[in-house]
Amino acid sequence: MLKKRLIFTLIYDSGFFMLSRNFRLQRVGDIEWLDTNYDFSKIARFIDELIVLDVTRENRDILRFSEALKRLSLGCFVPISAGGGVRSLDNARMLLRSGADKVVINTPLFDDKPLVVDLAEEFGQQCLVGSVDVIKNNNTGYSIVTNSGARILEEQAEKHLIRVLKEPVGELYLNSIDQDGTGQGYDLALLDLIPKNCTTPIILAGGVGNTGHLIEGLVNSRVDAVATANLFNFIGNGLQIARESIVKEGYNLANWLNFAEMSFMQATDVSSK
């Protein structure tokens, strides 16, 4: 059985990292603040991947975002997926050259499908993460939101997802806007929107407030990875405690904690000589 993954997501907007609640953003700090308060060379030992999303709505600057990505990738030895505003092969190429291993695309899945095909042909389908943001629609179903939350698509989310999952993406990041930043747990009903014959790996996001919420996602057979984007729920050694607890309880995460600790100590010994 393939091991499931624990993913940490960073939200970036106009040079700053943000807290998001129902897609309403609160500024936390810039890359200097992040360096001071989060040591990603340490945090990376307790996650399987890092996702960095640029949600800037106006005057998006991919060069500035790429520079922040370079800083984040230093000493971060887990795969990084990055995206937001990818509208060309050159945009994707810049992110990959700045430390990303995979490219996250959202709006082009609905507005520019030829670009999705071009990206897959250029970099490989496994390099693409499709991101879909979903919101409840007057309690009658769900709708999909694009353009960093600025546009709600017509038709029910199920119909869009059927089409999206036919696109050449390696996995799908499925995020609940209603649960986003609430700390109340995942909206597991989102998984019912996915076709039963889906073979695309699903990353579930939106709503994590504690380790129990991560476990609720991990035990679901339709979920391949769980993500949290809350900078403060897992500050300090929170991610370490969460992963140790999940592994100790026998859930299907890779148990490489001791190996990671040993590798980090060896690297520290070498750098200090």
The model's pTM is: 0.92
pLDDT band with cut points at 50, 70 and 90 for residue 199: very high
What angle do helix axes 257-272 and 238-248 make, rounded to 10 degrees?
A: 140
Q: Tell me the one-letter amino acid at 69.
A: L
Report residue 80 as tokens.
């990084």
Residue 65: inside a domain = yes
Token pair in block for residue 161: 């997802």
Taking 60 as the threshold, does the pLDDT of residue 139 lie above it? yes
* Residue 223 in domain: yes
For residue 108, the model assigns a pLDDT of: 96
Quick one: what percent of the chain has pLDDT higher than 70? 92
State mean pLDDT over 46-70: 94
CATH number at residue 62: 3.40.50.12600
Mean pLDDT over each residue of the chain, to the nearest integer? 90
Identified catalytic residue from 13, 48, 54, 133: 133
- The 10s digit of each residue's pLDDT in 202-246 is 999 999 999 999 999 999 999 999 999 987 777 678 888 999 999
CA 246/CA 226 separation, integer angstroms: 12
Judge whether residue 50 has pLDDT over 80.
yes
The HSE-up count of residue 122 (CA atoms within 13 Å, CB side) is: 16
User: How large is the average pLDDT for residues 62-78?
Assistant: 91
Partner residues linked to 12 by β-bridges: 17, 54
Please give the angle made by the CA atoms of 87, 89 and 91, to the nearest 5 degrees. Answer: 60
Higher local confidence (pLDDT), 76 or 172: 172
**Structural domain count of the chain:** 1
Residue 34 within any structural domain of the chain: yes
If we measure between CA atoms, which residue out of 158, 148, 172 comes closest to residue 55? 148
In a domain, 167, yes or no: no
Give yes or no for residue 257 having a pLDDT over 70: no
For residue 77, the enclosing domain spans 5-127+209-272
pLDDT score, position 273: 44
Is residue 240 domain-resident? Answer: yes
Average pLDDT over residues 86-108: 97
Residue 202, domain member (yes or no): no
Q: What is the pLDDT of residue 38?
A: 78
Q: What is the mean pLDDT of residues 175-189?
A: 96
Is 48 among the residues known to form the active site? no
Amino acid 57: pLDDT? 86
In a domain, 66, yes or no: yes
Indicate whether 79 belongs to any domain.
Answer: yes
